[in-house]
Amino acid sequence: MLISAFGVYLNSKLINPLVFYTSLHAICWPIDGLLIGILLLCSRRNWPWIMAGYMITTGTQLRLLGQPLSQVAGDVGCNVFEMVFAAAMLPGFTNLSDWLRRPGLILRFSVVVLIGAPLIPAVPWSAYTHVHLGEEFWSTVQHWVSGDALGIALFTPLVLVLASRETYLLLRPGQRLKTLVMFGLLLGTSWFIFHQTAYPVAFLIFPILVLMVDRVGFPGAVLAVNLVTIIAAHGTIGGMGPFMFVQGHHEPYRIMTLQAYLTIAMVMSFAITLTARDRDDFQEQLKLALQQMEVLATRDGLTGLGNRRLFDQTLDAEWGRARRQGMSIGLLLLDVDYFKSYNDMYGHLAGDHCLCAIASSFGTHLKRAGDLAARYGGEEFVVLLPGATLEDASVIAESIRKGVEALGLEHKGNATGVVTISVGFSAVVPGTVRPSQRLIAAADEALYAAKQGGRNRGVSASSHVPEACEA
């Protein structure tokens, strides 16, 4: 209630007298936009208290000006309906980024709130003033709707922007100079447009607003349109600016044109902001989709390890790098012992769980950047070890073998009583050609030897590639 009363007092003592009154009527009514913004910031259970503060303050003010009670009740009641209706039609505000992404926001704001909310109460109020005060009906409707629409368009976003942390980031060190330059350009252009009568160049403000949305975002654009309003109102009331060319210089037409111009500027800022955010959201979703596609294309769906495609690509790249730099490259081939009998005994679902458990254990033993574990096919795995010597490969192979055995996965078909693996490993320094498949063949021969030797063991291949393969 106190906030509402203070808003009404500030509006009547500072904002309206400063720029928004002409000799005939108000250019806009800021209080409606201010209180709609406050309603959006507050829980709906507090709305009655906010409106009560407005009704008491405004009603008292109008009575002190000598208005009859029935007129005060009608005026205040119509404004309360307008503000509550407008706030109810807009999504509640938590933060600016989420609020701007709410579905249908631009349609609700530009049509329902800016047109519908002022128009609905304007009709009964204009009928009242026509009957009791002799005012022209359509002229009253026009003044009510245009003034309130502009007040809502300017001040509701302004309240939300000032309540948003995003706004104050415009003054952070890395952004401050850009912000000042953009506002300087806007204010200079606005002053030129509305303080001369030689050129009808009102359109110049729109490309600058588009640029501001791009450079300083929606908060900057909202602040910009409000600053343009001050300059435009000052110039137009003073008989300057492009709207002096409208309808033989008659003030009501100039003011109507100015109101439409400023309202369109704010709605345009809304539309551009939402379009830009939709574009950014689409780009982010596309980026995530591409990342997911890349994962699906290079990862094994069961174990989450790299798949055969990723392994082949990585082997080619690392083999070429090792050859250029004269480094060794190691490789392990691992096979789950008696896995067919495990599937027959425990079922394929248990077999899948077994493979996943083994794959998960690899991370404990592969600590070096660049090491790659992949599923090679069926129950076979491969580990690529860039920069590893045969001795390094031997240590890692034994560590992985012991780690799998330590998992203690029951396997009654294995003499050990638990799941084990056999490992064949090799390491070479590549020669002048690209016989990377020979590295795999050597590890495969070693794996065969490990199986023939009783399984649950690691066997090394020759530490060199035959000259015939290095021609």
Query: 150-208: per-residue pLDDT in tens?
Result: 999 999 999 999 999 989 988 888 888 999 999 999 999 999 999 988 888 989 999 99
Let me know: does 114 contact 153? Beta carbons within 8 Å.
yes
CATH number of the domain residue 383 falls in: 3.30.70.270
CA distance 336 to 320: 30
Which helix (H) or strand (E) segment holds residue 85: the answer is: helix 69-89
20 and 100 within one domain: yes
Instruction: Give me the active site residues, please.
Output: 379
Answer yes or no: pTM beyond 0.85. no
464 and 380 within one domain: yes
Q: What number is the average pLDDT over the span 425-454?
A: 86
- Domain-located, residue 206: yes
Residue 250 predicted with pLDDT over 80 = no
156 and 143 within one domain: yes
Structure tokens at 456: 């649950």
CA distance 461 to 464: 9
Q: How confident is the model at residue 468 (pLDDT cuts 50, 70, 90)?
A: very low
User: Last residue of a domain, which of 298, 322, 341?
Assistant: 298
**Structural Rg of the chain based on CA atoms:** 37
Q: What number is the average pLDDT over the span 246-261?
A: 76
- Domain-located, residue 245: yes
At 156 the pLDDT is 95
For the chain, the domain total comes to: 3
At 5 the pLDDT is 53
At 180 the pLDDT is 93
- Domain-located, residue 303: no
CA distance 392 to 6: 76
User: Last residue of a domain, which of 261, 280, 298?
Assistant: 298
Range of the domain at 347: 308-470
320 and 292 within one domain: no
338 and 275 within one domain: no
CA distance 430 to 329: 8
214 and 118 within one domain: no
Share of the chain above pLDDT 70, in %: 91
Q: What is the DSSP letter of 385?
A: E
- Domain-located, residue 399: yes
pLDDT 10s digits, 334-353: 999 999 999 999 999 999 99
User: Last residue of a domain, which of 109, 128, 162?
Assistant: 162
329 and 449 within one domain: yes
At 18 the pLDDT is 47
CA distance 353 to 59: 74
3-state DSSP assignment of residue 397: helix
Residue 462 predicted with pLDDT over 90 = no
Residue 402 predicted with pLDDT over 90 = yes
Q: List, edge to edge, every strand of the sheet that includes 329-336.
A: 372-377, 380-386, 329-336, 421-428, 458-460
2 and 143 within one domain: yes
